[in-house]
Amino acid sequence: MEVLMSIVVGILISAAVYLMLSRSLLRIIIGTGLLSHGAHLLILTMGGLKTGAAPLLGENAKVYVDPLPQALILTAIVISFGVTSFFLVLAYRSYQELGTDDMDQLRGNDQYE
Smaller CB distance to another protein: residue 6 or 53? 6
Q: What is the length of the chain?
A: 113
- If we measure between CA atoms, which residue out of 18, 59, 62, 67 comes closest to residue 38? 18
Question: Per-residue x/- marks for another protein, 34-53, CB under 8 A?
Answer: -xx-xxx-xx-xxxx-----
What is the 8-class DSSP label of residue 59? G
CA distance 113 to 111: 7
Please work out the total of residues on this chain that contact another protein, with binding judged by CB under 8 A.
39
Which residues, numbered 43-102, are part of the site for another protein (CB under 8 A)? 43, 45-48, 68-69, 72, 75-76, 79-80, 82-83, 86-87, 90-91, 93-94, 97-98
- If we measure between CA atoms, which residue out of 31, 33, 6 comes closest to residue 16? 31
- What three-state secondary structure class fits 102? strand
Please report, as ranges, the residues that interact with another protein according to CB under 8 A: 20, 25, 28, 32, 35-36, 38-40, 42-43, 45-48, 68-69, 72, 75-76, 79-80, 82-83, 86-87, 90-91, 93-94, 97-98, 103, 106, 108, 110-113
